[in-house]
Structure 1
Amino acid sequence: MTHIVDAAWQKILTTYGEPVPPDASPLLEPFAVLARVAHAEPLLRRLHPWTGMWELHFSRCTEMNYTWDLPYIGTLRDGRYYVEGPDRSSPRIAETDSAQAAVAMVVDRLPPGCGPAFLGNAGELAAYEKTRDQG
């Protein structure tokens, strides 16, 4: 794992791992659980995590613009989770009561040989893969 990927995971774990204040969003605690469960999965820990809209995304590269070719996990107001992707136009894959089940759904949908995250952005990764596949 690169230091960049490790640092991104640590930032998420630290940001969402703090004690939950009483006035926090109801999504904070389930999201913190999700972050810990996802980080515990070795295949996901090799990917660059990023967050937005109470969703945990996984990128095959370390810099923006990140890849949008892997499923992601979001939190629902009732403390449940959903799995969608790989992009926002894809239909919802499933909803589940547990972060473990959501993480397992993502892992089951990872392409063979996914990771470690490429040092660079999505365009640089695509150029690298094209050159690699031609050789």
Structure 2
Amino acid sequence: MVNTVEAAWHKILTTAGEPRWPEGPPFLEPFAELVRVAHAEPLLRRLYPWTGMWELHFSRCTEIRHTWDIPYIGTLRDGRYYVEGPDRSSSRIAETGSARAAVTMVIDRLPPHCGPAFIGTAEELASYEKARDSE
């Protein structure tokens, strides 16, 4: 049986440095470094990673609609990083020149009892947690 979270990390790790759009080159190495540093962290490696717009997101579930309760890290055109979230309406937490510092900011803001990722959607995770917590 394939581990869904491990497979997602493998895909991101093997494609993070590949050009996807014409604007890719300024983002390639900083984004690839971010993915490597995040994957090296056991707490983040338990979560489901997904990417978009040169951002690395972490979900407590494996299927779409992912959770939006964990800050995410984006890559700036100058090679620096920003940490925002946990959702799009939240303000920027910080900017940094270090992938390690950005990852640490996310780890420091993880919800309690975070991970391993739940196999299913955010709605299914919420139902599971509600039932679990009412026992």
Scaled by the length of structure 2, the TM-score of the pair is 0.93
Are 1:133 and 2:103 matched, yes or no? no
Unaligned runs of 5+ residues in structure 1 are none
Question: Residue in 2 aligned with 1:83?
Answer: 83
Question: Residue in 1 aligned with 2:15?
Answer: 15
Q: Deviations over 1:6-25 (max 9, x none)?
A: 00000000001459xxx842
Secondary structure of the corresponding residue to residue 118 of structure 1: coil
Secondary structure of the corresponding residue to residue 26 of structure 1: helix
Pairwise mapping of residues 50-61 of structure 1 onto structure 2 (< 5 A)?
50-61=50-61
Q: Give the Cα–Cα distance (whole angstroms) in 2 for the partners of residues 80 and 54 of structure 1.
A: 12
Q: Give the Cα–Cα distance (whole angstroms) in 2 for the partners of residues 24 and 133 of structure 1.
A: 44
Secondary structure of the corresponding residue to residue 27 of structure 1: helix
Q: Give the Cα–Cα distance (whole angstroms) in 2 for the partners of residues 28 and 17 of structure 1.
A: 5
- Describe the shift of the 1:59–1:71 C-alpha distance in structure 2 as closer, same or farther (beyond 3 A): same
Unaligned runs of 5+ residues in structure 2 are none
Scaled by the length of structure 1, the TM-score of the pair is 0.93
Q: Deviations over 1:82-105 (max 9, x none)?
A: 000000000000000000000000
C-alpha RMSD over aligned residues: 1.5
Q: Give the Cα–Cα distance (whole angstroms) in 1 for the partners of residues 25 and 116 of structure 2.
A: 33
CA apart distance, 1:111? 1.5
Percent identical: 77
Q: Deviations over 1:21-52 (max 9, x none)?
A: xx842111100000000000000000000000
Are 1:28 and 2:23 matched, yes or no? no
Q: Deviations over 1:44-79 (max 9, x none)?
A: 000000000000000000001100110000000000
Runs of 4+ in 1 over 3 A off after TM superposition: none
Question: Residue in 1 aligned with 2:72?
Answer: 72
